């Protein structure tokens, strides 16, 4: 255990959140690790508030991959991460999720003979048009330790012929992060007073996925739907940089800014966002992680997609798939507002990081 050396690689805000409990557990047990920030979506400067909120030390490596095509991001990550691995010579590399840099990191490690642990393994939307689905499948099939959040994700892996000895149901580290930080957020965050909003008096909207915001027809339809909902409900919208850029390119920015009852704000830190989530009467999102957080926090969720890799949230009734058309979104909103918040989330009890580190040490 004293000689075990781990490299933990992250590159997006969801990865920072979900890996933070693992980093805390490694620190608690005095296990050596190096932290690598690929910078796939953001610079470290933009992510710094998440590092601060989650009390994560600065990365040992900043790769600065940045935006680009799928091939560019994957190729740049392969080249840069390989150099870091050759220098550090870790025993194990930990990755989380389904981004281009996750797959590239796993591929670089495997080719160097380094063991790979994939946190949140086995998620499937069964939609190969999603780049994330390709990344998930490929990463799972080259990993040595597959940490599945639920029995459903484990079954996906076994159906694909992956050796059951490699698969471990650990729960999802997002539960660890949410339970640890929600009380801190409720106490420290002043976001509600800053925005002059109150509990259960608003919807929370997030929108960033390429299939929605890079498609003018879809984005326009979603905005028209939001405009219609705002006739009756207040909606808080932390606008993702990608979405803001597309709204400008499609000449939709002015229309969005004119929508009454739509509060457009800059992206916020983790604690502020948690507080916005837990106090919302409903969440509209195309994010996978937010579907999980809404489920954990007992807030009804309407997913602005045509599928989900979190089907457990549909099964227990915390979430509904509404697609991108006005009729299905408004129907979904009205249905979820009537929901009794009695579901029990399926993602574990908040000890996933401990389980993962236990398995690695064994």
Instruction: State how far the Cα of 1 lies from the Cα of 360, in Å rounded to an integer.
Output: 9
Percent helix / strand / coil, the chain, rounded to 5: 50, 15, 35
Residue 110: exposed, middle, or buried by beta-carbon count in 10 A (0-12, 13-18, 19+)?
Answer: middle
Of 286, 317, 337, nearest in space to 125 by CA: 286
Spell out the CATH class of 5-172+348-361: alpha beta
What is residue 44's predicted lDDT score, i.e. its pLDDT? 77
Q: Model pTM?
A: 0.95
What is residue 67's predicted lDDT score, i.e. its pLDDT? 86
What is residue 187's predicted lDDT score, i.e. its pLDDT? 94
Phi, psi of 260 (to 5 degrees): -70, 140
Neighbours of 102 (CB within 10 A): 29
Cβ pair 6, 357 in contact under 8 A: no
What is residue 2's predicted lDDT score, i.e. its pLDDT? 58
Q: What secondary structure does DSSP assign to 4-36, as a single string? A: -EEEEEE-SHHHHHHHHHHHHHHHHTT-EEEEE
Of 181, 138, 128, 129, nearest in space to 16 by CA: 181
Cβ pair 13, 41 in contact under 8 A: yes
Domain with CATH 3.40.50.2000 in the chain: 5-172+348-361, 184-337
According to the CATH classification, is domain 184-337 in 3.40.50.720? no
CA 158 to chain CA centroid, nearest Å = 24
Residue appearing with tokens 């028209």: 224
Instruction: State how far the Cα of 229 lies from the Cα of 311, in Å rounded to an integer.
Output: 26
> Which residues are identified as catalytic?
208
In tens digits, the chain (362 residues) has pLDDT values of: 558 999 999 999 999 999 999 999 999 999 999 999 999 877 777 789 999 999 999 999 999 998 889 999 999 999 999 999 999 999 999 999 999 999 999 999 999 999 999 999 999 999 999 999 999 999 999 999 999 999 999 999 999 999 999 999 999 999 999 999 999 999 999 999 999 999 999 999 999 999 999 999 999 999 999 999 999 999 999 999 999 999 999 999 999 999 999 999 999 999 999 999 999 999 999 999 999 999 999 999 999 999 999 999 999 999 999 999 999 999 999 999 999 999 999 999 999 999 999 999 99
What is residue 40's predicted lDDT score, i.e. its pLDDT? 80
């Amino acid at each position: 255990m004293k000689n075990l050396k781990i490299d933990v690689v992250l590159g997006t805000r969801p990865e920072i959140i979900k890996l933070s409990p693992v980093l805390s557990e490694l620190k608690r047990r005095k296990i050596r690790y190096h932290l690598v920030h690929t910078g796939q979506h953001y610079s470290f400067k933009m992510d710094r508030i998440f590092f601060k909120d989650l009390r994560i030390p600065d990365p040992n490596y900043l790769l600065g991959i940045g935006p680009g095509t799928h091939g560019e991001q994957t190729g740049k990550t392969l080249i840069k991460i390989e150099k870091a691995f050759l220098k550090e010579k870790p025993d194990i590399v930990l990755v989380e999720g389904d981004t281009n840099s996750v797959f590239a990191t796993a591929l670089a490690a495997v080719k160097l003979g380094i063991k790979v642990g994939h946190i949140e393994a086995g998620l499937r939307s069964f939609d190969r048009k999603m780049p994330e689905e390709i990344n998930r499948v490929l990463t799972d099939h080259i990993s040595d330790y597959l940490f599945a959040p639920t029995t459903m994700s484990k079954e996906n892996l076994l159906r694909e012929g992956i050796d059951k000895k490699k698969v471990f149901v650990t729960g999802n580290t997002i539960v660890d992060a949410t339970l640890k930080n929600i009380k801190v957020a409720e106490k420290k965050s002043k976001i509600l007073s800053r925005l002059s909003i109150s509990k259960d008096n608003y919807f929370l909207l997030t929108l960033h996925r390429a299939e929605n915001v890079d498609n003018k027809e879809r984005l326009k339809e979603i905005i028209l739907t939001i405009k219609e909902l705002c006739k009756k409900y207040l909606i808080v919208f932390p606008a993702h940089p990608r979405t803001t850029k597309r709204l400008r390119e499609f000449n939709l920015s002015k229309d969005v800014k004119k929508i009454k009852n739509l509060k457009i704000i800059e992206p916020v830190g983790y604690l502020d966002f948690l507080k916005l989530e837990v106090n919302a009467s409903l969440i509209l999102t195309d994010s996978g992680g937010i579907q999980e957080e809404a489920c954990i926090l007992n807030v009804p969720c309407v997913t602005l997609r045509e599928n989900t890799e979190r089907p457990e949230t549909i099964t227990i009734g915390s979430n509904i798939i509404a697609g991108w058309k006005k009729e299905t979104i408004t129907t979904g909103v009205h249905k979820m507002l009537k929901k009794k918040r009695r579901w029990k989330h399926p993602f574990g009890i908040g000890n996933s990081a401990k389980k993962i580190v236990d398995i690695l040490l064994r």
